[in-house]
């Protein structure tokens, strides 16, 4: 008779792709702004904000916030603001009836629109005009709720099946936060994008005189079930690190998720080059997935029209290569392990 522990494993059933949760239950919010929730504990503590769906086709953050809200978790001290950002893009631009296919954005990339955004609620009067479209209007609506945070986590996923990583910009405070979380195990310090400011680079979080800090977690490939698991673990560790989530509850939740109580020390990459495609013919010489370490400087990475792109130094790390880059887009970042 077969012992059940000695049986060979059966054929693995592929997990279904990570799906967008049903967001209708979260629409009302409790702030007057749809899909924005705030919970305040009696005990003093920091204001902590978590953003999901900055890009409408990245369900992992929505999966994590949906779980937090459905479980009825609340801060033990301080304040939580939980925001589903680009819900219109997540619904494929359909405001009524069944949702369409989730889109990254409808008019403009919401994570390039944060320069000059203020936390103030707009004064009463004629409704402001948002020439850049629906994302700019939504940024103005949620800004007063999240640009007042002391600590902010922005949950994203990637086009490529790269290991998860945390982007911390150039702020030493954000870098220390990402290293302290240590999950994901890669921390990437970078300058953001030439084509517009990310939320984590807003002066609220990046100015030398500010005490606030914001990080952007890239939890895995958009539809990978592991991205949902990473977003949940990252969220719990972030809330625990801020001491707004009760420590015993955090331990229980991490144990439930089979996550180690203390993750290993993370690897930190300092981005030295941000490569933009100069032509629509940009093509990598092979399919990179991200976080490869290229041992020898001068190794050919890609062709971009007549231009050849080589690694600028030995032991160069590739961060988030894009599958089908277009002219003017960031195609890959290059960095050194520090
Ligand atoms: Zn994203």
pLDDT of the residue at 2 = 44
CA angle, 209 then 212 then 213, to 5° = 115
Ligand 1 ion: nearby residues, β-carbon < 5 Å: 55, 58, 156
**How far, in Å, is the centroid of ligand 1 from the Cα of 338?**
25
165 Cα: distance to centroid of ligand 1 (angstroms): 12
Q: How far is the CA of 10 from the centre of ligand 1 (A)?
A: 36
Which residues lie across from 270 on neighbouring strands? Answer: 189, 336
pLDDT of residue 104: 95
Which stretches within the chain are classed as H helix? 60-70, 87-90, 134-146, 172-181, 203-206, 225-241, 247-256
Per-residue pLDDT of 66-92, as tens digits, reads 999 999 999 999 999 999 999 999 998
Instruction: Please tell me the distance from the alpha carbon of residue 160 to that of residue 315, in angstroms, as a whole number.
Output: 21
pLDDT on residue 3: 46
Q: From the CA of 233, how far away is ligand 1's center (Å)?
A: 18
**Per-residue pLDDT at 225:** 96
What's the pLDDT at 175?
98
pLDDT at position 140? 95
Expressed in angstroms and rounded, the spacing between residue 5 Cα and the centre of ligand 1 is: 42
Residue 99: the pLDDT is 74
Convert the pLDDT of each residue in 178-215 to its tens digit: 999 999 999 999 998 878 999 999 999 999 999 999 99
* pLDDT recorded at residue 11: 58
What spacing in Å lies between the alpha carbon of 291 and ligand 1's midpoint? 17
- In the chain, the domains with their CATH numbers are 24-265 (3.40.630.10), 271-337 (2.40.50)
The alpha carbon of 71 and the centre of ligand 1 are apart by a number of angstroms equal to 25
9 exposure class (CB count in 10 Å sphere: 0-12, 13-18, 19+): exposed
pLDDT at residue number 1: 43
**CA of residue 157 to ligand 1 center, whole Å:** 5
Q: Which residues of the chain have pLDDT under 50?
A: 1-6
73 CA distance to ligand 1 centroid (A)? 25
Q: What is the pLDDT of residue 294?
A: 97
Q: What is the pLDDT of residue 8?
A: 52
How many angstroms does the Cα of residue 195 sit away from the middle of ligand 1?
Answer: 15
> What is the reported pLDDT for 195?
81
Distance 58 CA to ligand 1 centre (A): 6
For ligand 1, the distance from its centroid to the CA atom of residue 255, given in whole angstroms, is 28
Ligand 1 midpoint to CA 156 (Å): 4
Distance 55 CA to ligand 1 centre (A): 5
Q: Is 202 exposed, middle or buried (0-12, 13-18, 19+ CB in 10 A)?
A: buried
Please tell me whether residue 250 adopts helix, strand or coil conformation: helix
What is the C-alpha to C-alpha distance for residues 55 and 216, in angstroms, rounded to an integer? 12
- The two beta strands, 165-167 and 213-221, are antiparallel
């Amino acid at each position: 008779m077969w012992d059940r522990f000695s049986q060979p494993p059966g054929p693995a059933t592929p997990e279904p792709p990570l799906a967008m949760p049903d967001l209708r239950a979260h629409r009302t919010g409790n702030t007057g702004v749809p899909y924005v929730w705030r919970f305040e504990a009696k005990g003093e503590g920091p204001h902590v904000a978590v953003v999901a769906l900055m890009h409408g086709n990245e369900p992992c953050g929505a999966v994590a916030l949906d779980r937090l809200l459905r479980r009825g978790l609340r801060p033990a001290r301080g304040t939580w603001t939980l925001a589903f950002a680009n819900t219109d893009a997540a619904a494929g631009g359909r405001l009524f009836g069944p949702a369409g296919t989730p889109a990254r954005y409808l008019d403009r990339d919401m994570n390039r629109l944060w320069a000059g955004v203020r936390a103030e609620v707009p004064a009463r009067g004629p409704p402001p005009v948002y020439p850049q479209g629906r994302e700019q209007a939504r940024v103005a609506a949620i800004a007063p709720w999240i640009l007042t945070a002391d600590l902010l986590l922005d949950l994203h996923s990637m086009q490529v099946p790269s290991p998860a990583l945390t982007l911390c910009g150039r702020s030493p405070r954000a870098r220390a936060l990402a290293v302290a979380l240590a999950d994901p195990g890669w921390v990437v310090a970078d300058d953001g994008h030439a084509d517009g400011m990310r939320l984590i680079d807003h002066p609220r979080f990046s100015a030398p005189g500010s005490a606030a800090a914001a990080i952007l977690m890239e939890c895995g490939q958009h539809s990978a079930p592991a991205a949902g698991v990473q977003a949940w673990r990252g969220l719990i560790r972030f809330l625990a690190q801020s001491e707004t989530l009760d420590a015993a509850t955090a331990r229980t939740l991490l144990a439930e998720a089979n996550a180690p109580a203390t993750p290993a020390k993370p690897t930190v990459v300092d981005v030295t080059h941000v490569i933009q495609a100069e032509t629509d013919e940009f093509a990598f010489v092979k399919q990179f997935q991200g976080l490869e370490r290229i041992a020898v400087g001068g190794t050919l990475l890609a062709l971009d029209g007549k231009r050849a792109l080589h690694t600028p130094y030995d032991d160069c790390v590739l961060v988030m290569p894009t599958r089908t880059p277009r002219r003017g887009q960031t195609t890959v970042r290059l960095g050194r392990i520090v």
